[in-house]
Copies of this chain bind each other. A is one copy, B any other.
Amino acid sequence: MGSPKQSPLDEVKLAMASTNELFNTEVFGKRNFAALDQIYTSNARILPPGAAMVAGRESIKKFWSDLIQSMNAKSAVLASIEVLPAGDGLVEIGRATLTAEPPGQAPAQMEVKYVVYWRQEDNRWKWHVDIWNQSA
């Protein structure tokens, strides 16, 4: 009786999927940039293509707010390809599909791949280092 036992890694993967889904539904879908507090560690780094590294959650929030609004971005659907346990953290390889409706332009879809180094902060699994590039 009861639900089947999950391995610790399976539980972590569920927590990761929940964080990834927040990025799609709250940040991209609702432009709720405060949700980024639950997604990035306070001293996270992002390494966006075509730009310098951005350090610290407040600067990262500005980055995503500016980008999502200027592109009129609509969604960012993330999927893990591999999850590698790494001490207190995890290394995730994944892919994402971004959609946007830039003003005066045709709707756009972009395939990217990424590596995220995850750490726990305040009992949540969060992105500590986040880098991505286009897949084609």
- The listed residue (B50, B53, B113, B115) touching A117 by CB distance below 8 A is B115
Known: A86-B86, A131-B133, A132-B133. A81 touches B93 (CB 8 A): no
Give A53 to B81 CA distance when docked, in angstroms: 11
A134 at the interface (CB under 8 A from B): yes
A108 at the interface (CB under 8 A from B): no
Query: Within residues 75 to 105 of chain A, which ones have a CB less than 8 A from any CB in chain B?
Result: 81-82, 84-89, 91, 93
Give A62 to B37 CA distance when docked, in angstroms: 41
State the oligomeric state as a number of copies: 2
A7 at the interface (CB under 8 A from B): no
Interface of A is mostly: strand
Give A76 to B82 CA distance when docked, in angstroms: 28
Interface string of A47-59 (1 = CB under 8 A from B): 1111111000000
A45 at the interface (CB under 8 A from B): yes
Question: Which of A133, A134, A136 has the most chain B CB atoms closer than 10 A to its own CB?
Answer: A133
Known: A117-B86, A117-B117. A129 touches B91 (CB 8 A): yes
Please list 9 pairs of residues, one from A and one from B, whose beta carbons are closer than 8 Å in the complex, sorted by A's number: A47-B133, A49-B49, A50-B134, A52-B136, A53-B113, A84-B117, A84-B128, A84-B129, A89-B91
